Amino acid sequence: MTKVLTILNREEWTNYIRGAAEYDFYHTWHYHTIENSLESKSRPLLFVYQQGDDYIVFPLIERNIPGTDFFDLTCVYGFSGPVSNKKMENLEDSFIENFRGAFISFLSGSNYISLFIRMHPFYKQQKLLDKFGGVHSNGKTVVIDLFKSIDDQREDYRQSTMDAIKHAWKKGFRVVEEKGPKALEIFAGIYRESMKRVGAADSYLFNDQYFNNICNTNEYDARVLMVYDGATVMSSTIITFTNDIIQAHLVGTRAEYLHESPTKFLVDEITLIGRREGMRYYNLGGGLGYKHDKLFEWKAAFSKLHFEFNTWRYIANPAVYQNLLAQKGINNNPEIDFFPLYRYA
């Protein structure tokens, strides 16, 4: 059986995700409604393939290809990809092959030209998507293992990172969880200031409703944490707790406090919170575009545990894909790390 749910099917979408053996907040119905509010021309979907009690569900974002009657598919901001009521590594090959056939029929029957999906680094989705081809290695994400002792964890810190944390202890910095509209207002100001400072695209600035929506749901646990020096907020983050994973979703620091490195102290404190609550991993993410850059090195100063981050770049209709490139005068250049290429520039 196959079917496609939309955000109008809240209960059914939620039940499939909650019944999955592994899922993160990026898969939830609520998070997809946020995506829908950000981009009015997109449409969240949940593709469902089911055999008896077993199923694979695939959250997707449908977009029209401007100037055409065709569409492509992508995912929400973050790590997505398919999930199942069984762990991916436990799915039988025959079940995967049946899913593959059903999904290809769905693509061809709905005028979909391509898919771009950020795969979840903690789930073995490659076993499923390798059957289609198009899995692309994008780099690594830095992960802290919270089942290690705090002493062993700190042994892995670079000396400069540990020195910054000791400096925070000495100065009496505090991490406090804050709630309510005022907390979100403070966070939004700090976050946007940080994004503008590093030259981030406008799409990363987000509106106030986005921050409010992220933190107001019962489908996952999102928290706003702030680092205080006395009564002054230096740095703030929104983190999520879903199943056994903490995600460092958004973070920012006021420019005048960068020299104090409050986010290093913040990361260390979050690992203590995670341990108290029985979490397994704290995912710091990777570099900008998941490249091995200064941001990656900053994160890697906390942990030697790095997970592979892959994207799925699948061309469902090669003839139309090539025609779209030709119409825009774009060469199919493998040196350009962008997909789908017809949306480049």
DSSP-derived 3-state class of residue 296:
helix
Q: Are 59 and 48 in contact (CB under 8 A)?
A: no
Helices (H), the chain: 10-18, 29-38, 93-108, 126-129, 150-155, 159-171, 181-197, 208-215, 262-276, 294-300, 318-328
Cα 330 to Cα 44, 102, 340, 344: the distances in Å are 29, 32, 11, 9
Same domain assignment for residues 18 and 122: yes
In the predicted structure, residue 18 carries a pLDDT above the cut 90? yes
Same domain assignment for residues 93 and 62: yes
Return the pLDDT at 198.
84
Same domain assignment for residues 66 and 188: no
In the predicted structure, residue 143 carries a pLDDT above the cut 70? yes
Using CB atoms within 10 A of its CB, is residue 93 exposed (0-12), middle (13-18) or buried (19+)?
Answer: exposed
Mean pLDDT of 193-201: 89
Return the pLDDT at 295.
87
Please indicate, yes or no, if residue 295 is contained in any of the structural domains.
no
Same domain assignment for residues 156 and 106: no
Same domain assignment for residues 20 and 119: yes
**pTM for the structure as a whole:** 0.94
In the predicted structure, residue 39 carries a pLDDT above the cut 80? no
Cα 13 to Cα 17, 50, 62, 266, 281: the distances in Å are 6, 13, 16, 34, 26
In the predicted structure, residue 281 carries a pLDDT above the cut 80? yes
> In angstroms, rounded to a whole number, what is the distance separating the alpha carbons of residues 4 and 9?
10
Please indicate, yes or no, if residue 290 is contained in any of the structural domains.
no
Q: Tell me how far the alpha carbon of residue 175 is from its chain's centroid.
A: 24
Q: Are 222 and 213 in contact (CB under 8 A)?
A: no
Residue 37: pLDDT band (50, 70, 90) is: low
Q: How many domains does the chain have?
A: 2
Which pair of tokens denotes residue 286?
């990777």
Residue with tokens 């964890």: 153
- Reported as half-sphere exposure (CB side, CA atoms, 13 A), residue 158 has a value of 10
Return the pLDDT at 40.
61
Torsion of CA 327, 328, 333, 334, to 10 degrees: -90
Return the pLDDT at 231.
97
CATH number, domain at 223? 3.40.630.30
Between 275 and 286, name the one with better pLDDT: 275
Average the pLDDT over each of 35-39, 45-49, 203-207, 266-270 and give the range with the smallest value. Answer: 35-39
pLDDT tens track for 82-128: 999 999 999 999 999 999 999 999 999 999 999 999 999 999 999 99
Return the pLDDT at 332.
81
The residue segments making up the domain with residue 124 are 2-140+309-343
Reading phi first (left if > 0) and then psi (alpha if -120 to 50, else beta), residue 302 is in alpha
pLDDT tens track for 289-341: 667 788 899 999 999 999 999 999 999 999 999 999 999 888 887 778 899 99
CA-angle at 310, arms to 304 and 311, nearest 5°: 155
